Amino acid sequence: MYIYVNGEYVKPEDAQISIFDHGFMYGLGVFETFRIYDGHPFLVDDHFHRLSRSLEQLSVQWNWNKDDILGVLNTLIEKNNLQNAYVRWNVSAGVGPLGLQIDPYEKPSTIVYVKPIPESMSTVKRGVILKTERNTPEGNERLKSHHYLNNIIGKKEIGSDPNVEGIFLTKEGFLAEGIVSNLFWVKDNIVYTPTVKTGILNGVTRQFIMALLHQLGIECKEGYYESVELYKADEAFVTNSIQEVVSLSEVDGKTNYNSLTSLSAKLQKHYSILRKQLNSRNELYKKELS
């Protein structure tokens, strides 16, 4: 496999960054994960809008345009003989002196990884409320940053079973998000999801699903909710950019969701059509859905 590192396409064993890169030293970096479907990078505009906005908050000067981005993606899928791929696009602050820096970073490191998508992934998982609390964001909002220790601790709690997703609560006891996903549930034909004010990541797929629900005429409410609301739901599902929409069969053994006639199945059906078409969720408003 080839990866992109600061202007070069190299084998993983030949990839190098400086030990003084502040992304390594202080976790000062952000990334996006997304999928390419038959050569089309789904929601590419939304992912890179978030990436650029996050880097701006970190005072990292990164001035790539869409042509630059698509050029790297096209070259990577060609070199790796892929048409369907998992992509992680990573930008870290770049080299700096020992010590915390307040000046802008002018030469960030850009690394792009790709790999094949597994032939099959779980479409149904079991939910588990974690004992590990969701930590609060480092700033005003949670960035998709290198700070992943909280997620790793949560993952260690549930183990390596790919059919289980851990669900964080905030320290106040409100539902937050999955270890690698955003959380939704349905009660009486209304969809609920935790507000971003709980400190969750405002996932690109989360925003897309909320836009899709709007286009389908399905009400979606954001707020502060306790676990009992999830236990009483008619169904629940989680979302992320790699696994798309995943039904939850149950949560903590206290539920018995029916995933065979679920809203999540309907959303996944629309997702499977739109994922080869859209560059941004905003394009949804130009489409008629049924």
What is the predicted pLDDT for the residue at 260?
A: 61
- Report CA-CA distances (Å) from 155 to 132, 148, 150, 241: 10, 11, 9, 18
User: What are the backbone dihedrals phi and psi of residue 31, each rounded to the nearest 5 degrees, phi first?
Assistant: -150, 165
Q: Where are the alpha helices (DSSP H) in 246-287?
A: 263-274
**One digit per residue, pLDDT tens: the chain, 290 residues?**
999 999 999 999 999 999 999 999 999 999 999 999 999 999 999 999 999 999 999 999 999 999 999 999 999 999 999 999 999 999 999 999 999 999 999 999 999 999 999 877 888 999 999 999 999 998 999 999 999 999 999 999 999 999 999 999 999 999 999 999 999 999 999 999 999 999 999 999 999 999 999 999 999 999 999 999 999 999 999 999 999 999 999 999 988 787 666 899 999 999 999 999 999 999 998 877 86
> What amino acid occupies position 106?
E
- List the structure tokens of 261: 């006639």
Give me the pLDDT at residue 203, please. 98
Token couple for 135: 């930590």
Closest CA to 145 of 195, 83, 93, 101: 93
What pLDDT is recorded for position 290?
67
Give phi and psi for 116, each to the nearest 5.
Answer: -65, 150
Q: What is the pLDDT of residue 255?
A: 84
CA distance 172 to 174: 6
Q: Which of 242, 237, 286 is nearest to 266 (CA)?
A: 237
Which structural domains are found in the chain, ordered by start?
3-116 (3.30.470.10), 124-286 (3.20.10.10)
Helix axes 44-57, 66-79, angle to 10 degrees: 120
